[in-house]
Amino acid sequence: MAEGGNDWIARSRQYIREVQGEFKKITWPPQAETINGTISVIVIVSLIATFLGIVDFGLSQVMQMVLG
C-alpha cells in the first residue's frame, strides 16, 4: 500500500516535467497577430449574429401574418 502511495507521486512529478517540456516547445504568435485575429473573429461573429437576427425577425413577422 505504501509503494502505491509513492508511485502516484512519482508519476505526477514525471507528468508535470513532461508538461513543462511541452510548454517550452510552443511558439506563440506575435501580439499584433493575436489582436488582429481577435478583432477579425469579433467582426465576423457580429456580422453573422446581425444577419441571423434580421432573418429571425423577418421569419417571425411572416409567421405572425400567416397565423394572425
Residue 4 has pLDDT above 70, yes or no: no
Query: Could you report the per-residue pLDDT of 10-64, keeping only the tens digit for each?
Result: 999 999 999 999 999 999 999 999 999 999 999 999 999 999 999 999 999 999 9
Residue 1 has pLDDT above 50, yes or no: no
Domain residue ranges in the chain: 2-67
What's the predicted TM-score (pTM) here? Answer: 0.63
Q: Which amino acid is at 19?
A: V
Q: State residue 14's pLDDT score.
A: 95
Distances, alpha carbon 30 to alpha carbons 27, 33, 44, in Å:
9, 5, 21
Query: Could you report the per-residue pLDDT of 25-40, keeping only the tens digit for each?
Result: 999 999 999 999 999 9
